[in-house]
Amino acid sequence: MKRKKELKIFLDEQYKLYNQASFIESDPIAIPHSFTKKQDIEIAGFWTAILSWGQRVTIINKANQLMDLMDRSPHDFILNHTEKDRKAFLNFKHRTFNAIDSLYFLEWLQQFYRQNKSLEKAFVQKQKAKGFDMQKAIGDFHSLFFSLPDFPSRTKKHISNPLKNSSAKRINMFLRWMVRKDKSGVDFGIWNKIPSSALHIPLDVHVHKIALQLKLTSRKQTDWKTVKEITNNLRQLDPNDPAKYDYALFGLGVLGKDAILY
């Protein structure tokens, strides 16, 4: 009990330290922050999150290139672009994400937004706020995303499926951006049908390293089971908003501090 209380005090302090507006400029979340329209934020946030692996400077540059290809109006572009407009995306590439993936993203997003007002609907299609099952919600989104005929099988590697025990780091990060609400203004909090209590920690090597040091997990694998274990332990510190501690764990990990010192 004493350790739990001390851990909460330590992580709350770190959360407040790193959950600052000054964090935005150097992070991929800066891309959706360049928009004010809800659908623009969703599209920019989703695609940026999917591209978020590698160096943050490179991710931001590539995501900005993508927004330029959509004339800095992603929702309008998604709704109204033609086959001719897609040719500009044939030269877009980020690591293993290539033109085939871009063309499928464009097709899926266009079909979805022509029938729906918000991307949130894709994540809550079979869920209720009470007893929200995030693993299944992301799994259902994965199925919906690849429901178009003749989807490219190679694109599946870019949309993780926790029902197959993937950590779904980038999707969890995107969901944190869209769902969490606080006064710092980093996360957007523009979605209301997913409770913050259902969010899971976006697990990468930095977060995993600190979570091991803090004994939030003993698992060596970076998979969904580890995500769930860490998140459940963080829920004991804040049952309503466990994902807020992503700021603390990621900040400690990236800056190379030794969390054991707390």
pLDDT given at position 260: 43
Q: Six-digit token pair at 43?
A: 């599209």
How far apart CA 145 and CA 122 sit, in angstroms, is 8
Residue 2 pLDDT: 66
Q: CB under 8 Å to 160, separation ≥6 — which residues? A: 138, 142, 166, 167, 168, 169, 170, 171
Q: What is the pLDDT of residue 227?
A: 98
Report the pLDDT value the prediction gives residue 262, as an integer from 0 to 100.
39
Reduced to 3 states, what is the DSSP secondary structure of residue 69?
A: helix
- The alpha carbon dihedral of 18, 210, 229, 43 has a sign of positive
pLDDT the model gives residue 255: 65
Tokens of 228: 């769930």
Compute the distance between CA of residue 99 and CA of residue 215 in angstroms, rounded to an integer. 42
Please report the pLDDT score of residue 130 as a whole number: 74
* pLDDT at residue 131, rounded to an integer: 86
Residues of the chain with pLDDT under 50: 258-262
In the beta sheet, which residues pair with residue 97?
94
pTM for the complete prediction?
A: 0.95
Residue 119 CA to residue 209 CA, distance in Å, equals: 32
The domain in which residue 17 lies consists of 2-261
DSSP letter, residue 170: H
Q: Give residues with Cβ within 8 angstroms of 253, minimum separation 6.
A: 204, 205, 206, 207, 209, 210
The 10s digit of each residue's pLDDT in 110-122 is 999 999 999 999 9
Kindly give, in sequence order, each residue whose CB lies less than 8 Å from that of residue 150, ignoring residues fewer than 6 positions away. Answer: none
Look at the chain and report how many structural domains it folds into.
1
- Quickly tell me which residue has 């709350």 as its tokens: 12
